[in-house]
Amino acid sequence: MAEATDVADPAVAGSRAPERAVTVHRPPRHRGLGSAPGVRWTLRIVAIGYVAALVAAPVVTVTRQTFANGLSPVLEVLSSPDFVAAARLSAVVALIAVGVNTVFGIGVSLLLVRYRFPGRRLLDAAIDLPVSISPVVVGIALILVYGRSGWAGRWLEAHGVQVVFATPGIVLATVAVALPLVVREVVPVLEEAGLDQEQAAQSLGASAVQRFRRITLPTVKWALAYGVVLSLARSLGEFGAVRVVSSSVPGESQTVTLFVNDAYQEFGPAAQQAAITAAFTLMLVAVVFIVLIAWLRPKENQ
């Protein structure tokens, strides 16, 4: 009787692949910072305290001080000739600045996104320069160029045009500080939209004006609206550059921000009431702009 051997058939042995144990390495589970109740409440308290100290407390204080003596002193300040003239000048300057920056913003945005040319990156960087430096520096630079001793100012005054210490200087300063706001809102939307729709319209015979009116403008309308609101808020609240180039004469070259500064530096309860009331007015306008921006933001992202 043949003995059974322990040697397996080579053919059978070769047909079977050796089994290997597979080890799966799973990363350790870490509890997120937000999962700890103590951390969550600490972050909330810090955030609420930070906002309360820097925003809520000043807003409440200004509001309380404005109406501390009743409504009559507030209405008296709001109807005073100096405040009315300052509000009118601020509104005119802001509207001019917003109009200029809107046209400039759309044109430069199209130039930066649609075209490639030498110096494009330099132009892109130069647009952010007014918000990268102090507004006081912007005002001094305008004086050096358009003042009586400036190379452009001498020629302008020789032809009867005064820029610095007059309304044109205030407009230039306001335009400069709000320059990039429309551009920085419109450029990302244009880059995301691309050129496919405009190229298709061009192939169908649409002119440049038709393409802009029917394709480009509807594409960027919410971003443009958002940039215009930001530019308007920035223009109304500008102080540093305007203070340098303005003579701050009440009723002539004094904006609302200059009215607040000049009134606060005077003595007496009437001057303090005027400064606080004007500051409250600017704050109220800022709140309206914040609501507008919050309303426009979702539509911009659609």
> Residue 180: which of 144, 111, 234 has the closest Cα?
234
Q: Is residue 10 part of a domain?
A: no
Per-residue pLDDT, 15 = 47
pLDDT band (50, 70, 90) for residue 7: very low
Radius of gyration of the chain (CA): 32
Q: Is residue 5 part of a domain?
A: no
Q: How many Å is the maximal CA-CA distance in the chain?
A: 131
Number of domains in the chain: 1
**Residue 188, amino acid:** P
- Reported as a single tens digit per residue, the pLDDT across 119-177 is 889 999 999 888 888 999 999 999 999 998 888 988 998 888 999 999 999 999 999 99
Per-residue pLDDT, 130 = 85
Q: Is residue 214 part of a domain?
A: no
Average pLDDT, the chain: 85
Using CB atoms within 10 Å of the CB of residue 264, give its burial: 0 to 12 exposed, 13 to 18 middle, 19+ buried.
middle
- Reported as a single tens digit per residue, the pLDDT across 27-40 is 555 555 545 778 88
Q: Is residue 131 part of a domain?
A: yes
Are the CB atoms for 235 and 181 separated by under 8 Å?
A: no
- Reported as a single tens digit per residue, the pLDDT across 70-82 is 999 999 999 999 9
Are the CB atoms for 250 and 220 separated by under 8 Å?
A: no
For the segment 262-273, the average pLDDT, to the nearest whole number, is 91
256-264 vs 81-114: helix axis angle to the nearest 10? Answer: 130
pLDDT at 278 over 90: yes
Q: Which CA distances in Å does 58 have to 53, 63, 183, 229, 288?
A: 8, 8, 32, 23, 17
Query: How many of the other CB atoms lie within 10 Å of CB of 142?
Result: 23
CA 242 to chain centre: 19
Helix segments in the chain, DSSP class H: 10-15, 37-51, 57-66, 71-78, 81-114, 120-127, 129-132, 135-146, 151-158, 167-177, 180-193, 196-203, 208-211, 217-237, 240-245, 256-264, 269-301
Where b means 16+ CB within 10 Å and e means fewer, 75-111 reads: eebeebebbebbbebbeebbebbbebbbebbbebbbe
What CATH number does the domain containing 154 carry? 1.10.3720.10
Q: Is residue 15 part of a domain?
A: no
Per-residue pLDDT, 20 = 54
Q: Is residue 20 part of a domain?
A: no
Quote the CA–CA distance of 253 and 245 in Å, as a whole number. 10
Per-residue pLDDT, 208 = 82
| pTM for the structure as a whole | 0.80
> Domain range for residue 170?
43-193+222-301
Where b means 16+ CB within 10 Å and e means fewer, 159-198 reads: eeeebbbbbbbbbbbbbbbbbbbbbbbbbebbeeeeeeeb
pLDDT at 287 over 90: no
Per-residue pLDDT, 35 = 56
Quote the CA–CA distance of 175 and 235 in Å, as a whole number. 8
- Reported as a single tens digit per residue, the pLDDT across 41-56 is 999 999 999 988 988 8
Q: Is residue 17 part of a domain?
A: no
